[in-house]
A and B are shown apart, each in its own frame.
Chain A
Amino acid sequence: MKKTFALLAVTTALSAALAVPALADRMNATEAQASTEMGATRVRGDDDDRGFSLFRIFRRHHDDDDHRSGHDRHDDDDDDDDGYGRAGSNAAPAGTVPPPANGLIGGGAPTVRVN
């Protein structure tokens, strides 16, 4: 009886391991087809606005692979310069927090203009 259960567990685990990536690819294909049928051209950046799902994990993984083989990842960093301060490891942009209390700047946030 124990052997039967063990076998059942192993086969279930194997099936799940094979089925999930296959399902993700299938969903990829379905989505691509839907986009084509609608005549829509999807901008890569649009992906970031959608919800988080298992499907996205797999697709993102595929994207990363393509990226590594074809391009230097550093290229991506050039495009998002306007998004300064979004990531947690960046400095807080002017106007979002007071300037540092370094004894140099008074009177609140600096006024900035670029011509």
Chain B
Amino acid sequence: MKSLLAALAVTTALTVPGLALARPVTLTTTMANYGGAGAYLAIYVTDANGRYVGSLWMAGGHSRYYQHLSDWYRATGGDLAQINGITGASVGAGRTLEISFDLADSLFDAGYTLHIDAAAEDMRESPNDVSVPLTTQGAGQTVRGRRYVAGFRYSM
């Protein structure tokens, strides 16, 4: 019985800090009706100095097109290790992409910025189509993109 309680205490102690350090967040990206094929999107984060921190999602599975997500590509060199396990299909015009996951608490109100690079076949590239500071106050507010993204918001 004692060993069971001890195990319970240990697992609780290990779990609680984890819960406190991350929060469930949903990223909602609505594409404009730009009249082209499905768009590739790279969603990633930079720090207060503009340095690449990490990727959150890659929409589009063919790595040969990643060079057209030019800011992301410049920052990562197209390194697939950055997006293994967080890659899905490209997103069609007029569609809405919703991604839900636990994001580190430390990302909010600490000078981090979320970026979306976008590109569609036979159309112009749009690096930094969306650029939005990650703050608790900014949650739920829709931001307009420059070319392919009609609207983006994060909610928690």
Which residues in A have some Cβ–Cβ distance to B below 8 Å? 77-78, 81-87, 89-100, 102-107, 109-115
4 interchain residue pairs of minimum CB distance = A84-B61, A102-B54, A107-B102, A110-B101
- The number of residue pairs between A and B whose CB atoms lie closer than 8 Å in the complex comes to 127
A97 partner, pick from B18, B22, B84, B97, beta carbons under 8 A: B84
Contact call B57/A110, Cβ cutoff below 8 A: yes
Contact call B85/A98, Cβ cutoff below 8 A: yes
Contact call B84/A91, Cβ cutoff below 8 A: yes
Contact call A84/B62, Cβ cutoff below 8 A: yes
B-side contacts of A93, CB under 8 Å: 61, 85, 87-88
Contact call B102/A105, Cβ cutoff below 8 A: yes
Contact call A103/B54, Cβ cutoff below 8 A: yes
* Docked pose: A84 CA to B91 CA in angstroms: 12
Which residues in B have some Cβ–Cβ distance to A below 8 Å? 18, 21-22, 24, 37-38, 45, 53-58, 60-64, 80-91, 95-104, 107, 121
Contact call A114/B91, Cβ cutoff below 8 A: yes
Known contacts A91-B61, A110-B100, A115-B96; A102 and B89 CB within 8 A of each other? no
Contact call A105/B61, Cβ cutoff below 8 A: no
Contact call A109/B80, Cβ cutoff below 8 A: no
* Docked pose: A77 CA to B107 CA in angstroms: 37
Contact call B61/A111, Cβ cutoff below 8 A: no
B-side contacts of A94, CB under 8 Å: 85-88
* Docked pose: A87 CA to B80 CA in angstroms: 12
Chain A to chain B contacts (Cβ below 8 Å), 8 pairs = A84-B62, A89-B80, A92-B84, A94-B86, A97-B84, A99-B86, A105-B54, A109-B101
Contact call B58/A104, Cβ cutoff below 8 A: no
Q: Which of B60, B63, B85 has the most CB of A within 10 A?
A: B85
Known contacts A111-B99, A112-B98, A112-B99; A90 and B104 CB within 8 A of each other? no
